[in-house]
């Protein structure tokens, strides 16, 4: 019991200190992901310490440190719980709907071969737009029925877990596949035309995760997301960015991404909705995300059932409206020169490591 207590105390202290250190190493940043789990572990550890050692001076100091950290972490994640303020407003009678757009996002997990449940889900939900990550040649061979239903598509099958496919029932123009950070790590952008007149710029992304098997630094991931943010900031049409972002909604990087892109997060104020790891309930975190410009209102966002992958699919329905940009704004300041300079430095660092 003593050793278990020592290990728990050490873990809690590391989880508190490491995220505060100015490092891009995966080791120091990994603790920013499981914020909810860390809160639970720290609370349980405080109880164990007091039950084992009583109210000693060091146990009281430890409890104060942990409870303070719990409050700080909860402040970070609160906006993404139902206690937070909604950033993307619900569709209501105060705005006029131009058109609607439904999207299905899923990281299929390259080695998962359960494609039939996905095809059935597509038939049931009938989304306008599909984005699939980790699609290899085997997966694209199984998706003929999807191609038949979605005449506009861009498939990039790869065997390195970074394959990507975009399927649309609406016409797509200016379709581009770019590898912004590193070779064979594609992102897809396209302009979707709805009802022959409404154009929407969409960006499908799946950056490199900050994990030793892929990258020992978070810099390449940060660089790709910030490069996409810069593209969005220069776009002339309403924008949507979606995919497996390998980053949690409450990270400093996501804040920088939103500040530069001016995109809204529909998850804020509606629940955390963790999407990974589908097979390990106690380790779930929200890394599959969607962001959209203030031209939209939210009709619905739901996590779909697991289908063999380590990620859950997400189904989102948006309304393109006439007054949405007037009635809702991003609850943070516009990027200043210092923000832009910091973004450029982080992009340069990520490109150097790619």
**What is the structure's pLDDT at 326?**
61
Tokens for 32? 């920013």
pLDDT digits (tens, 9 = 90+) for 205-222: 999 998 888 888 999 999
d(CA 295, CA 202): 13
Omega before 216 within 30 of 0, i.e. cis: no
> Was domain 97-351 assigned CATH 3.60.40.10?
no
253 within 8 A of 281, measured Cβ to Cβ: no
d(CA 92, CA 174): 33
d(CA 33, CA 11): 15
Which residue carries 């989304």 as its tokens?
A: 127
**What is the structure's pLDDT at 323?**
67
**What is the structure's pLDDT at 32?**
92
Beta bridge partners of 164: 133, 156
Taking each helix axis as running N to C, give the angle between helix 2-17 and helix 35-53, from 0 to 180 degrees, rounded to the nearest 10: 140
**What is the structure's pLDDT at 276?**
96
Specify burial of residue 30 (Cβ count, 10 A radius: 0-12, 13-18, 19+).
middle
Strands (DSSP E) found in 308-353: 314-321
pLDDT digits (tens, 9 = 90+) for 223-237: 999 999 999 999 999
**Domain locations in the chain as residue ranges:** 2-80, 97-351
Q: Residue 352: pLDDT band by 50, 70, 90 thresholds?
A: confident
């Amino acid at each position: 019991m003593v050793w278990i207590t020592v290990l728990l105390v050490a873990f809690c202290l590391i989880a508190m200190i490491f995220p505060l250190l100015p490092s891009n190493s995966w080791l120091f940043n990994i603790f920013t992901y499981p914020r909810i789990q860390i809160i639970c572990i720290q609370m349980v550890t405080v109880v164990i310490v007091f039950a084992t050692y009583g109210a000693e001076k060091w146990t009281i100091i430890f409890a104060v440190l942990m409870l303070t950290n719990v409050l700080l972490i909860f402040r970070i994640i609160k906006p993404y719980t139902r206690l937070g303020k909604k950033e993307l407003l619900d569709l209501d009678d105060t705005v006029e709907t131009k058109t609607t757009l439904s999207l299905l996002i899923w990281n299929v997990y390259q080695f998962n071969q359960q494609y039939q449940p996905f095809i059935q889900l597509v038939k049931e939900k009938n989304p306008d737009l599909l984005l699939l990550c980790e699609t290899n040649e085997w997966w694209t061979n199984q998706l003929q029925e999807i191609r038949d239903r979605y005449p506009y598509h861009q498939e990039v099958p790869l065997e390195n877990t970074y394959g990507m496919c975009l399927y649309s029932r609406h016409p797509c123009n200016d379709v581009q596949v770019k590898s912004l950070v590193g070779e064979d790590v594609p992102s897809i952008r396209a302009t979707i035309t709805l009802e022959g007149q409404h154009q929407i710029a969409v960006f499908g992304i799946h950056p490199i995760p900050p994990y030793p098997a892929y990258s020992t630094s978070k810099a390449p991931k940060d660089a790709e997301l910030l490069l996409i943010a810069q593209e969005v900031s220069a776009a002339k049409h309403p924008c949507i960015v979606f995919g497996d972002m390998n980053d949690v909604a409450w990270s400093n990087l996501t804040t920088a991404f939103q500040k530069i892109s001016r995109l809204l997060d529909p998850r804020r104020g509606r629940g955390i909705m963790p999407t990974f790891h589908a097979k390990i309930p106690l380790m779930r975190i929200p890394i599959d995300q969607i962001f959209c410009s203030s031209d939209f209102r939210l009709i619905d966002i739901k996590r779909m059932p697991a289908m063999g992958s380590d990620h859950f699919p997400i189904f989102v329905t948006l309304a393109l409206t006439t007054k949405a940009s007037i009635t809702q704004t991003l609850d943070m300041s516009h990027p200043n020169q210092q923000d832009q300079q910091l973004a450029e430095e982080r992009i340069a660092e990520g490109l150097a490591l790619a």
